[in-house]
């Protein structure tokens, strides 16, 4: 990996350890159906016994132990300007750019709106099921809004589990590769209604002032009652002003969701910001059958809500809208654009909320964030709970679970010095373990996932091997 790639990894959260030890961010501070036995929860508490629990937690916390560390004194440029002429691989990035979560926990945020999967499973018609699946695919990226802190990079072999009986699912993920970084995940409904799995390995591109993360890896949702499987990939995420200026995020690209049983397809266009920010956050698309006949139109914003309507009514409304636009006078040009060199990308102002077309039905609306979200890395209420660790939980969790990572725990508690020291120690420990494997000519063995092909697309994938919730952790590596 060259120095340029490592710098961009450090900014966006997909970095690697450098085997030479010269680069460190810390110095400055499945194919088959897995049947779910709902009669027992493997030491976590039985379904239906007492209040809903997750890993023994009766009531989820509503805030973090310490407020967010201010980043006002830090910028990437303040670091780069001191290192002119040096290789980027030798540049140290402060931990202040992180948020106190692992990337594996970031992936778990897909499940915040899992009720959409349950709703899809209950729908009798395939068109209605696709509407709910499309809403779930959009909701899965909603938590990224204003989340400019980078998650901690998972160590090789790191895991994260989440059991939410109140939401009807359990989830397990593992960092299965470090070069390239690949995170595999698997989730199942506690009432045998769905399986949700995939592997994530983004491709990063640098465009001068922004870093673009192009998603790689297939996401699969199986609705077991209907014997249906849906596959898609996430949109591209772009972080602007990584060098200078205020960071802001947009998602863009086309997401195609395919129902492999019926041939129905949902095509969703995540719009790029556009001139004056008119298209910021917008999502527009449609559902078509296997003969490409449009059945349903979907529109909204990935940061707010998603609506749907029949194609005839949608086209009629848009035609009237265009007729009205043509009668309005165009605004005079404000003059030539400024040179695109050292100027930061302006943070676009979000336009008016979604204009709802009469006759539309609401498919999804984002959860309201807690009032103190800005002091908690812009976390949602769901996200705030992901790193909870109550007394006794460590006896149940795998020793590789990222709740047990001392660097993330230190940052969450507001101890930035400890977090930096622990992060550097863990990265060095990982480097030494890799050197030891090289000396012994031994390959890394994943524990809960294995290489394979996606059963529906045939593309390379990491598949859940099963067995995690039997809780035999005797062979887990010592990574912390």
- 76-251+434-470 CATH, one of 1.10.533, 2.60.40, 3.10.590, 2.40.160: 2.40.160
Tokens 């660790």 belong to residue: 389
Cβ-based neighbour number of residue 346 at 10 Å = 15
Instruction: Provide the β-strand partners of residue 57.
Output: 54
Domain boundaries, the chain: 76-251+434-470
Q: Tens digit of pLDDT for each residue in 20-32?
A: 333 233 333 333 3
Q: What is the pLDDT of residue 93?
A: 60
pTM of the predicted model, to two decimals? 0.80
pLDDT per residue rounded down to tens, the chain (480 residues): 444 444 334 333 344 343 333 323 333 333 333 344 333 333 343 334 444 455 656 688 888 888 887 665 555 555 555 544 443 334 446 787 789 999 999 999 999 999 999 999 999 999 999 999 999 999 988 887 777 778 899 999 999 999 999 999 999 999 999 888 999 999 999 999 999 999 998 777 766 676 777 778 899 999 999 999 999 988 777 766 666 667 767 777 889 999 999 999 999 998 877 666 677 788 999 999 999 999 999 999 988 899 999 999 999 998 888 877 655 544 444 433 333 434 455 544 544 578 899 999 999 999 988 888 888 888 999 999 999 998 889 999 999 999 999 999 999 999 999 999 999 999 999 999 999 999 999 999 999 999 999 999 999 999 999 999 999 999 899 999
């Amino acid at each position: 990996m060259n120095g340029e790639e490592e710098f961009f990894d450090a900014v966006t959260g997909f970095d690697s350890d450098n085997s030479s030890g010269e680069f460190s961010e810390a110095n400055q501070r499945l194919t088959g159906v897995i049947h779910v036995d709902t009669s027992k929860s493997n030491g976590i508490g039985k379904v239906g016994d007492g209040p809903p629990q997750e890993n023994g937690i009766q009531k989820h916390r509503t805030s973090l132990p310490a407020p967010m560390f201010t980043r006002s004194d830090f910028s990437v440029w303040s670091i780069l300007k001191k290192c002119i002429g040096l290789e980027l691989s030798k540049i140290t990035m402060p931990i202040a750019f992180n948020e106190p979560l692992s990337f594996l926990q970031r992936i778990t945020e897909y499940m915040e709106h899992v009720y959409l999967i349950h709703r899809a499973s209950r729908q009798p018609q395939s068109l209605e099921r696709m509407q709910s699946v499309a809403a779930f695919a959009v909701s899965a990226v909603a938590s990224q809004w204003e989340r400019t802190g980078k998650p901690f990079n998972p160590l090789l072999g790191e895991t994260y589990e989440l059991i939410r009986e109140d939401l009807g699912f359990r989830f397990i993920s593992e960092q299965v590769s470090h070069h390239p970084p690949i995170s595999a995940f698997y989730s199942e409904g506690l009432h045998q209604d769905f399986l949700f799995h995939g592997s994530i390995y983004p491709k990063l591109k640098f465009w001068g002032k922004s870093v673009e993360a192009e998603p790689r890896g297939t996401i699969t949702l199986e609705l077991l009652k209907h014997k249906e499987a849906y596959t898609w990939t996430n949109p591209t995420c772009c972080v602007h002003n990584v060098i200078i200026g205020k960071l802001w995020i947009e998602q863009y690209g086309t997401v195609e969701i395919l129902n492999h049983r019926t041939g129905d397809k949902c095509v969703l266009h995540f719009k790029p910001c556009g001139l004056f920010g008119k298209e910021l956050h917008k999502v527009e698309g449609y559902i078509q059958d296997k003969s490409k006949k449009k059945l349903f139109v979907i529109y909204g914003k990935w940061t707010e809500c998603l609506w749907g309507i029949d194609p005839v009514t949608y086209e009629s409304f848009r035609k009237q809208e265009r007729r009205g636009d043509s009668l309005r006078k165009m605004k005079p040009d404000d003059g030539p654009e400024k040179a695109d060199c050292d100027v930061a990308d302006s943070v676009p102002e979000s336009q008016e909320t979604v204009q709802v077309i009469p006759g539309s039905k609401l498919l999804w609306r984002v959860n309201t964030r807690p009032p103190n979200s800005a002091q908690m890395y812009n976390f949602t209420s769901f996200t705030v709970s992901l790193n909870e660790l109550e007394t006794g939980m460590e006896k149940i969790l795998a020793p590789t679970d990222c709740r047990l990572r001392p660097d993330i725990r230190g940052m969450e508690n507001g101890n930035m010095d400890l977090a930096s020291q622990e992060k550097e120690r863990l990265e060095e420990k990982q480097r030494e373990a890799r050197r030891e494997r090289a000396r012994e000519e031994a390959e890394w063995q994943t524990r809960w996932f294995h290489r394979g092909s996606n059963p529906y697309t045939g593309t390379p994938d990491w598949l859940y091997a099963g067995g995690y919730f039997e809780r035999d952790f005797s062979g887990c590596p010592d990574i912390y």
